[in-house]
Structure 1
Amino acid sequence: MFKQMILSIALMGLTAPLHAAQLVDLVNPEFQIPCKDGPDDMVTGMPGLISELSDVKCTTYGQILTAPEGFIWKIAGTHNGAMSLLAQNGVDEINEVGNKAYFISIEGKQLSYDEIVNVFDTKLSDVLLQKTKEQILAQQAELIEITAINNKNLTQNVYIFMIKKYTLGFVCTPKCIKWAFTIEDSPL
């Protein structure tokens, strides 16, 4: 079903290359590599608006967009499944490429009410039930859109709703994935 690996869930006995059906916890320190060895146009920091919601890390499988230090994008309904967005998305097979798969641009913006409705209608129409959309709008949720462009010019998005005391996020590569995530304290 998926042509890209976008979720991170710990698996034992990982071997390269990764296939679309395999999921691995790339936030795990064993996969992390220094970003300082990457290309000059590699994004290595997050803009102010989204720095409290996301971070970029370098891994043996390319750069990932994930939760900030001390937190995880926890897949809703799982014990400790963590979500991340890979710069290497857009390929059939995820390989160990180090800093050869990276983001050249990461930007964030807070969307207006009309823009939120547009995201519901265009991006999240297959992901959220109409009743859920109405509840989110009724609670006057704020929506942050993170747009990440990789070095192959693939545009991907992360949508993070801030609803009263919790968050609800979705990853779009560019099609939105049905699994939502929340931002929670990291168990590590």
Structure 2
Amino acid sequence: MFKQMILSIALMGLTALLHAAQLVDLVNPEFQIPCKDGPDDMVIGMPGLISELSDVKCTTYGQILTAPEGFIWKIAGTHNGAMSLLAQNGVDEINEVGNKAYFISIEGKQLSYDEIVNVFDTKLSDVLLQKTKEQILAQQAELIEITAINNKNLTQNVYIFMIKKYTLGFVCTPKCIKWAFTIEDSPL
């Protein structure tokens, strides 16, 4: 039943535009550059709570928020689509900017039941069907909210539901993208 729910979410989102969650796998080593050459206020490491769910990497397209080492944020319902959150969001066109686009703050927190309901109503209302929301709540899912602020002061979020042994995540830039992701072992 849960796999059907993930597949239906993925199929709903196939028509959505992906401006921020790039289909180009920026986690691929060919795009990575050293973070040590970045500005002093660039976030380099992840806080404890979210370090098992996410990581920050420097790429030729700016910093990205992505899955931790050894994992990918795999777009649900695809064979090889990987999702990441770009610090470069908030611009009309994504360009190779190196360390000029970066995160100045990344924080995470586990949300309470009331906060989860609020996220459903305010952020994910256009992304999830009511039935899916009810199923997630019925399974007593935990929700981690990751808030990332880039050097242009654009606030973006990643929401990761932990439902028993599954994860289901959404990227919001700040509008939430209709493609869900799961956290899976990386093929690289």
- TM, length-normalised to structure 1: 0.89
Q: 1:132 to 1:86 in 2, by over 3 A?
A: same
Q: 1:72 to 1:3 in 2, by over 3 A?
A: closer
Contact 2:62 2:101 in 1 (8 A): yes
User: Which segments of structure 1 move beyond 2 Å, counting only runs of 4 or more?
Assistant: 1-23
Contact 2:141 2:164 in 1 (8 A): yes
Relative contact order (C-alpha < 8 Å, sep 6+): which is higher? 2
Cα deviation for residue 187 of structure 1 reads 0.5
Cα deviation for residue 94 of structure 1 reads 0.6
Contact 1:170 1:177 in 2 (8 A): yes
Distance across 2 between alignment mates of 1:6 and 1:141: 14
Q: 1:159 to 1:17 in 2, by over 3 A?
A: closer
Q: 1:12 to 1:147 in 2, by over 3 A?
A: closer
Cα deviation for residue 80 of structure 1 reads 1.3
Q: 1:6 to 1:171 in 2, by over 3 A?
A: farther
CA deviations 1:142-185 (Å, max 9, x no partner) are 00000000000000000000000100000000000000000000
Distance across 1 between alignment mates of 2:155 and 2:4: 14
Percent identity between the aligned chains?
Answer: 99
Cα deviation for residue 25 of structure 1 reads 1.2
Question: SS at the partner of 1:45?
Answer: coil
Cα deviation for residue 21 of structure 1 reads 11
CA deviations 1:89-113 (Å, max 9, x no partner) are 0101111100000000000000000
Contact 2:75 2:179 in 1 (8 A): yes
CA deviations 1:114-144 (Å, max 9, x no partner) are 0000000000000000000000000000000
Distance across 1 between alignment mates of 2:12 and 2:128: 32
Contact 1:5 1:21 in 2 (8 A): no
Structure 1 stretches lacking a partner, 5+ long: none
Cα deviation for residue 24 of structure 1 reads 1.3
Q: 1:112 to 1:97 in 2, by over 3 A?
A: same
Q: 1:175 to 1:18 in 2, by over 3 A?
A: closer
Structure 2 stretches lacking a partner, 5+ long: none
Query: Which structure's residues are more often strand, by fraction?
Result: 1
Q: 1:9 to 1:39 in 2, by over 3 A?
A: farther
